Structure 1
Amino acid sequence: MRGDDDEQHYFDPTQITASLPLLPFDNQVGGHGSFFRFSKQAICKAVSKKEQSFYEHLERQLPELLPFIPQYFGIVNVTYSADSVPHIVFEKNKHLLSDWRACHHRRSSRRHSVSAAREQILRDIFTPQAIQERLRQVNSEFRRPSSFPERRQHSLLLPADQDDPLTAVSSSPTSLSPPSPPPPPPSSSSKSTSAIASRRDQQDDDNDNDQDIFVMDEDMTLTTTGDDWKTREKPNNPWSMQVYQRDQQKMKHDDHKEYIMIEDLTDGIHFPCVLDLKMGTRQHSVYATPAKAASQTRKCQQSTSAALGVRVCGMQVYKQGDFIFQDKYQGRRLSPIEFRDTLVQFLNNNGCVQIHHIPAVLHKLRRLAGIIRSLNDYRFYGSSLLMIYDGDETSDKVMDVRIIDFAHSVTSQDPRHEFSYPPQHPNQPDDGYLLGLKTLTICFEWIYKTHGGEASVLTTLDQDENDVFEGIESRAAMCGV
């Protein structure tokens, strides 16, 4: 019987190892805490109790917003060591082993407590093949003296200030692409026009195993293959490397932290092109200190956030066999027109602006705006909008649009009397976020028309969606559109 088969095929990962090493996540373009690749389909990031509760609130109260956020898979305890990579220690994550066992008791009521998505993640980490492949990759990744050697980055639009604590870019303001793209096959190991130092911006908020153990029946359904872990070209994003190195340097002794597991939005993408947009006209939390509120307000006023409701927080783009990058410090210095041009550069893949993505993106932006507009007293301070597409010209994947980073978000149920800096317009939606969505919509429409798109295609969008920005003052003229 099937239940007996499942029990027979159950594999106890503690027979092989007491922990699983975590792989660095290579496609992180923003943020100030390390992301790790938990499985093929999930990554983990340091938890904020507020962000955890916000994810859980969205699942319970706002199902209409779930298509616009990464899927949330719960909590794991990550163990840090001063002389080793971060690990998932089974003794500190017994809930994972319990869920893995539950996946094999299909007649048990506990079986229904494990979602299909979470079960797949457990398959991706706990089958013998998965553990074998993970250990092989980690051994390969960290066999070098420095697992993350210092890299260099390309500037898309602007030369960074030479006194910037993190970047010193040598390319000219008009250099919109790498000086000399390397020949194929694609590689990111020698992309250099600017060194990234590992100093921190003090004001920024922001073992070989017995192979017989791995032998299983060929007809077993709970399997994973090494190829599952190798579908992406590794960009060696300098921001990912810097954040990882900084976190490792801070570890003076063994420690463990709670991380949330969320969907890896780059899963299945060969050449991940990622744009991180900080949304809204305000970034500081309702619980911010006066110093933090002043600092975040100043950053908004000195960037496109205050005027446009959005600024670039990080980007990586695949171009002609190479990845190029832009970090948040460059993003803060962009003028409105340069912000628009950065959107063009994000879509400029393999020498052609990929305008075929734009109609679907516009539809998603308007749908998202309609949802945000209906959420009185919700605020998404400090959140980002991620846009992701595959730089592989043979890919037919559509561009993904998701909201991330909810540590400073506010729900309608949060106690207002505890706020140090309450929203200025209670009983209303997040107009600053809506302004950013409107700016993006107008800019993408301009890009579509300017680069040969048929205007008639844009008219097919639902008329109702065109009204979602009613009353939101447009400042997109500052972008030259």
Structure 2
Amino acid sequence: MAEERSSEPVHLEPFIHQVGGHSHMFSLDEITVCKPLITRELHFYESMPDQMKQFAPEYKGVIEVNFVEDADGYVTLVAYPPKSYERKLSVQRSESKSKRSRIRMRPSGSLEIEGEQKQPQVFEEAEPRGDEAAAGHVPHNPWLLRCDRNQLTQLAAGALGSGSSGGGSSSHRAAPPQKYILLENLTHKYQYPCVLDLKMGTRQYADDDSAAKQQRKKAKVATTTSSTLGVRINGMQVYQVNLSRFICRNKYYGRKLTVDGFKQALCQFIHNGTTLRTDLLPAMIARLSELRSVLQRQHSFRFFTSSLLVIYDGQEAMHDQPERSARGDVDVRMIDFAHATHQNFDDPVQHSGPDQGFIFGVESLISMLKTVLQEYG
């Protein structure tokens, strides 16, 4: 039986730490993000083996999201979460004294974020791409406004065009609701979340993709580190303590990297602007080794187009704890299961054995991190 939904609407905020992916994500509260529902991905979360759950975001249910245009021309995202969220959200709203972030659609069709964060953070794109790049320093990862821009624009346009006809004006108009899945916000426990999004595997197309799409995906793999390492960078943000801001990279940067460039990018990911955080490497290697062991036991599973997130806190280590372990400060999680499959999906194409392409990427990552630790640790 579906959980009773809250009677009070919640205005969603942009998820400012999104570093990659196609689907736009929003924050329901500090520990929960919302992602557009894809049936296969929902099924995967609902049928995920227990041993894999420690390596994926916690799945929290499904909500409907409405795109509403208010009287000031802002496109606001309104959701009715499960009843269990009502009290927690009420407390958070009463404690928050800051202006909430909103998505605004300009007359030109471009999207922007307005609002102040409770703890303002500054992001800068390392390699802007012409007119698509966010100008200067912004209070969110620049990828946020690029992510699935067309889909967001269409939904916002639906809100603009779905009001009542006639000469009267309405205080707000709404587009048809969209279903979203609720997932754990993997960055919530970090003050300055440094995030590495890695596209995993040697195959980046689904079984049901068209022949033309398969060829395009194969060509992309062949010209990137996906073919040589089974992994490529899909996005990254790393906090620079000397600059007091995040430096961001996107998937276009990752596609250009050679094997040696990939190694240098890993070093950049653990460099805080003043020092190389080699103290993080043992925990990263241990966590990846645990993941590899779990994946080797998942027969019939294929994680086509899935990604791996590596996360740690960019704040400097406490000076009075120089020997403390970084294990609790490092997280490794699999995300994006829109094209995942296993034998219980009853798909026309069935696979046997573990996903060796994904595992190859994990092993390459472990090997390269060990090399960095040897050279700089």
Deviations along 1:265-305, one digit per CA (max 9) or x if unpaired, are 11121111000000000011111111221121111111111
1:431 aligns with 2:330: no
Q: What secondary structure sits across from 1:137 in the alignment? A: coil
Give the length in aligned residue pairs: 332
Does 2:29 align with 1:64? Answer: no
Does the 8 Å CA contact 2:193/2:312 hold for their aligned counterparts?
yes
- Residue 400 in 1 paired to residue 331 in 2? yes
One of 234, 238, 243 as aligned partner of 2:142: 238
Using the TM superposition, name which of 185-194 and 47-56 deviates more: 185-194
| Structure 1 residue identity aligned to 2:88 | D
Please say if residues 65 and 77 of structure 2, whose CA atoms lie closer than 8 Å, have aligned partners that are also in contact.
yes
Partner in structure 2 of residue 323 of structure 1: 246
Distance 1:390 1:235, change over 3 A: farther
Larger Rg: 1
The residue aligned with 2:286 is 363
| 1:186 Cα deviation from its structure 2 partner | 8.3
Q: CA–CA distance in 1 between the matches of 2:247 and 2:278?
A: 20
Inter-partner Cα distance in structure 2 for 1:289 and 1:239: 28
Q: CA deviation at 1:195?
A: 5.0
1:415 maps to which residue? 346
CA deviations over 1:206-250 (Å, ceiling 9, x no partner): xxxxxxxxxxxxxxxxxxxxxxxxxxxx85210012227544322
Query: Hey, what's the Cα distance between the residues in 1 that align with 2:369 and 2:15?
Result: 29
Whether the 8 Å CA contact 1:235–1:323 is kept in 2: the answer is no
187, 197, 221: which one pairs with 1:300?
221
Report the Cα distance in structure 2 between the residues aligned to 1:332 and 1:191, rounded to whole angstroms. Answer: 16
Please state whether the residue corresponding to 1:64 is helix, strand or coil.
Answer: helix
Which residues in structure 2 correspond to 1:326-345 (within 5 Å)?
A: 326-345=249-268
> Alignment partner of 1:323: what SS?
strand
1:294 and 1:238 map into 2 onto residues whose CA distance is 30
Partner Cα distance (2:275, 2:223) in 1:
32
Residues 1:197 and 1:260: Cα distance change in structure 2 (over 3 Å)? farther
Residue ranges of structure 2 left out of the alignment (5+ in a row)? 159-174, 319-325
Work out whether 1:74 is the aligned partner of 2:61.
yes
Distance 1:261 1:143, change over 3 A: closer
Match of 2:271 among 338, 348, 361: 348
**TM-score (norm: length of structure 1):** 0.64
- What is the aligned-residue identity percentage? 31
Q: Is this contact kept in 1: 2:225–2:259, CA < 8 A?
A: yes
Supply the distance in 2 between the matched residues of 1:123 and 1:85 (Cα, whole angstroms): 26
Q: Which runs of 5+ in 1 are unaligned?
A: 1-11, 101-120, 150-184, 200-233, 453-481
- For residues 358-397 of structure 1, the aligned pairs below 5 Å read 358-394=281-317, 397=328
Q: Is the 8 A contact 1:21 1:135 kept in 2?
A: no
**What pairs with 1:152-191 in structure 2 (closer than 5 Å)?**
188=122
The answer to whether residue 310 in structure 2 is matched with residue 310 in structure 1 is no
Q: Secondary structure at the match of 1:76?
A: strand
Question: Which is richer in strand?
Answer: 2
Residues 1:248 and 2:182 aligned together: no
Q: Taking structure 2 as the reference length, what is the TM-score of the superposition?
A: 0.80
Bigger shift: 243-252 or 393-402?
243-252
Q: What is the 5 A alignment of 1:442-457? A: 442-452=367-377
- Residue identity matched to 1:407: A
Q: Is the 8 A contact 2:198 2:309 kept in 1?
A: yes
Residues 428/84 of structure 1: CA separation in 2 closer, same or farther (3 Å cut): same
SS in 1 for 2:47: helix
The answer as to whether partners of 1:29 and 1:276 remain within 8 angstroms in 2 is yes
The CA distance in 2 between the partners of 1:35 and 1:361, in whole Å, is 26
Residues 71 and 89 of structure 1: CA distance in aligned 2, closer, same or farther (over 3 Å): closer
Report the counterpart of residue 17 of structure 2 in structure 1.
Answer: 27
